[in-house]
Structure 1
Amino acid sequence: MPPFASNVVLIAGGVGGARMAEGLARALPAGALTVIANVGDDDDFYGLRVCPDIDTLIYTLSDHIDRKQGWGVADDTVRALDVLGTLAAPTWMKLGDADFGLHIWRSWQLAAGNSLTKVTQEAAMRLGARARIVPASDDPVRTKLRTADGWMDFQPWFVGRRCEPEVLELRYDGAEKAKAGPEALAAIEAAELIVFAPSNPLLSIEPILAIDGFRAIIADSRAPKIGVSPLIGGKAVKGPLSRLMAGLGMRTSSSGVAMRYSGLLDGFAIDTQDLPEADELQGRGLSVLPTDILMRDPQDAERLAAEILAWTAVLQEHRKQAAS
């Protein structure tokens, strides 16, 4: 087991982040993993606080996830949503009945004065998640997208409009005023390894990095910092990343993703299909792990996590030898 296996931090959001979290949780000893979750997707529906990235992490790490769609609760029903539709309420946000239970409980606890961090950790513990999950901030941060139709909130664009309006600009409202969550900050300060999940860098990771001081906190950490590309052959495994990057004038490549994390990474894991990019990444001072980064199932996710852990241990040993 690598020397840092007792304290690993994963920066994550979305389905790709949840799969990486599951792989690391399976590959590491119990209690070794802390996942810092994106809150930029959070929104209110029917008076309830919904935290999609946090919930996907909780459901995945507790084996409640609907694996076919990658989000929501397995075998869930939509009777509550059917009633809302009958009452002429908008129902484009597909919330299942079991899912509603978590949103009701969270909203109740927040209204009682508990922090999002406390509520998230208690939900993860009670539902049986195999890792600590902490929100990046207890303060509201909301991803906004400027399209030809004007500025849109994230969920109406992502779910309501199925990512169809072309995105011309992004911003993360509230990030400049938000403070890093106390548990998230403590996790980074104590981390022996920091991993950036293969999440959408623009919609899942940068809302975290935009929080005041967060990027600097990670940059100052002495722990090795490893990124995992969300692209294979220039295409996103899941979601709108490729089209989003192209629309914003970015290179739709693993190198283009790594550029978003400039100054934060020591190494980057890319798919073997993207091996021609290795020289460019190494030219930027990054160590490169070319491997099969597609996580088809939990066993595949564990295999990738184990490869990353073993590779990072080798990098650490080389670093020590070079310093001696």
Structure 2
Amino acid sequence: DARPTAAVLDAIRKSAAVILAPSNPFVSIGPILQLKGVREALRRVKSRVAAISPIVGGKTIKGPADKMLRGLGMEVSPLGVARLYRDIVGLLVLDHADRSYVEPIERLGMRAIATDTIMTTPERAAALAKVVLQGLQV
């Protein structure tokens, strides 16, 4: 019965950028996308939506997303993640380790950038944020 507030949907519509963190697409991002109107609002601003792949080199840095993808018969890669988000994400950011997926992801109709996505320090996190925002042209 959960629903987003009108302010949430308005914020999505008016935002310069919406960034989906490298979180589990099923248990972290999925419940948000299931709220009535959220996925549709993101579709409308798709060119301003970026997602950072939680899959690096065929596994997650933290959490069970890789096992969940595999268990559901999906590809455990940034391409597998891109397929889940293809209707709402205009830019997928993936790790350098997965650079070979850039072209297949772009064939899905979204842009893709390979960079360092492992945020082990505040400086690396800031550098990733800069790449994402530049990719969205914000």
Give the TM bin, normalised by the shorter chain: over 0.9
Q: How does 1:1-324 map to 2 (within 5 A)?
A: 177-221=1-45, 224-313=48-137
Contact 2:86 2:110 (C-alpha < 8 Å) held by counterparts: no
Cα distance, 1:263 vs. partner?
1.0
SS in 1 for 2:51: strand
From the superposition, tell whether residues 223 and 257 of structure 1 become closer, same or farther in structure 2 (CA, over 3 Å).
closer
In the alignment, residue 68 of structure 2 is paired with which amino acid? L
From the superposition, tell whether residues 285 and 222 of structure 1 become closer, same or farther in structure 2 (CA, over 3 Å).
closer
Deviations 1:230-254 (A, max 9, x none): 1111110101111111112111111
Task: For 1:298 and 1:233, locate their aligned partners in 2 and report how far apart those are by CA, in whole Å.
Answer: 22
Cα distance, 1:178 vs. partner?
2.4
Task: For 2:30 and 2:106, locate their aligned partners in 1 and report how far apart those are by CA, in whole Å.
Answer: 23
Larger Rg: 1
RMSD: 1.5
- Aligned pair count reads 138
Deviations 1:25-49 (A, max 9, x none): xxxxxxxxxxxxxxxxxxxxxxxxx
Per the normalisation by structure 2, the TM-score is 0.92
Ranges in structure 1 where 5+ consecutive residues have no aligned partner: 1-176, 317-324
Task: For 1:193 and 1:253, locate their aligned partners in 2 and report how far apart those are by CA, in whole Å.
Answer: 24
Residue equivalent to 1:20: none
Per the normalisation by structure 1, the TM-score is 0.41
Deviations 1:188-213 (A, max 9, x none): 12111111111100010110111112
Structure 1 outlier segments of 4+, above 4 Å: none
Task: For 1:273 and 1:295, locate their aligned partners in 2 and report how far apart those are by CA, in whole Å.
Answer: 14
Contact 1:192 1:223 (C-alpha < 8 Å) held by counterparts: no
Deviations 1:120-155 (A, max 9, x none): xxxxxxxxxxxxxxxxxxxxxxxxxxxxxxxxxxxx
